[in-house]
Amino acid sequence: MTNASGVWITYTIDSGDGYFGDDNSIAVDSNNKVHISYRRSDGFKYFLKYATNLSDSWANYTVTTDSTISVQDTASIAMDVNNKAHIIYRTETEYTDLTTNNYLKYATNASGSWVTYTLFSGEIYRTSIATDSNNKAYISYNPPNYSLKYMTNASGSWANYTIDEGDVGSSSSIAIDLNDNIHIGYSDGMSDLKYATNTQQCIDNDGDGYGNPGNASCPNGSVTDCDESNPAVNPGATETPNNGIDDDCNPATPVASVSGNAYNYPIPLFRASMSVNVNASSLGTSYLRYYYTRNRLSLVSTSITGISASGGTATVTGAGSVNGAAGYTFTATISDGSPDTMGLEIKKPDGTNYFSTSSQAVISGNFTVVGQ
């Protein structure tokens, strides 16, 4: 029966001697074609049948033909993205021993012809089937101990998983969402309707679009945010050297640093020497020393307050003493190139200029600059 035309219309799809059509399940494919699995009796046995209007007229097919088994209830059908059918059903070889003669079976025409598989031996209650975007099947079912389980061939072979234990009833229904997450509705004994899912919600406490843990439902996907308290820190941020923060959540991002020893002659005959070891991740133990023979200027850093590095050039700022007197600040510019260069500006405690020499090539020595 359908109201696809705007009014309800009924069709007789299969008929004959015996019982037709009980324990049926229906699914609609991406072309709005209908697929129905059902049972047909022949004497004392039931066979699994399948009907579809795929060719615009109804056709039915016998999926199981083994006269030694009888298809019982629990039939459920699902269609994959290629519009192929997947059916789960239960069979019996005898009616006297449900434990040893019950089988959970799976049938599919994904290969172009019907193929059946035995998935489970033992008593089984109501089952349900769904398929994901990769045409893999997922089956929920209840074994005799009334726990809730599901099985899937998503890995290439069938595997079983327990979802809930205890008296959780004898029926379940399964669905797969667009992200291939599993959703199962089931009864908890005779009192509660329950729901189980493996969907992870996006936990984004700082609202930057990245979750911790990362999840496909987050605006920026499944990459994990390393700091959920700071929206400026996330895998999409630009690393800022010298702030002591892993801005881009990537410890491998180069940390600004400069090291080495060299000298030059800002003015002929007067040597200036610099020794430096500054790393943005350890400013507390970093240092810079400078000595200029012309005016016997000796700068020794007492603290390094910052470093930035780009394109082979580092800029180092800090405070220090000049010839033993504290309170001076400085900015050093050091390049790692061909040749290396160094320059320095020193300010008095009152902020006025004390000494300045522009960047000039070193005569001997070497500096190494690392940074973005």
3-state secondary structure the chain: CECCCCCCECCCCCCCCCCEEEEEEEEECCCCCEEEEEEEEECCEEEEEEEECCCCCCEEEECCCCCCCEECCCCEEEECCCCCEEEEEEEECCCCCCCCCEEEEEEECCCCCCEEEEEEECCCCCCEEEECCCCCEEEEECCCCCCEEEEECCCCCCEEEEEECCCCCCCEEEEECCCCCEEEEEEECCCEEEEEECCCCCCCCCCCCCECCCCCCCCCCCCECCCCCCCCCCCCCCCCCCCCCCCCCCCCCCCCEEEEEEEEEEECCEEEEEEEEEEHHHHHHCEEEEEECCCCEEEEEEEEEEEEEECCEEEEEEEEEECCEEEEEEEEEEECCCCCEEEEEEECCCCCEEEEEEEEECCEEEEEEECC
Q: Please tell me the pTM assigned to this model.
A: 0.55
Segments of the chain assigned to CATH 2.120.10.10: 20-197
pLDDT tens digits, one per residue of 297-355: 999 999 999 998 877 899 999 999 999 999 999 999 999 999 999 999 999 999 999 99
Tens digit of each residue's pLDDT (9 = 90 or more) over 113-163: 999 998 888 777 778 999 999 999 999 988 777 788 889 999 899 998 888
pLDDT of residue 59: 92
pLDDT reported for residue 170: 67
Percentage of residues in the chain having pLDDT higher than 90: 52
Q: Among the CATH numbers 1.10.3470, 1.20.120, 3.30.1240, 2.40.160, which is that of 257-370?
A: 2.40.160
* Start-end of CATH 2.40.160 domains in the chain: 257-370
CATH of domain 20-197: 2.120.10.10
Q: Give the residues of the chain that fall short of pLDDT 70.
A: 1-2, 18, 43, 67-68, 73-74, 94-101, 169-170, 189-190, 241-244, 372
What pLDDT sits at residue 143? Answer: 79
What pLDDT sits at residue 291? 98
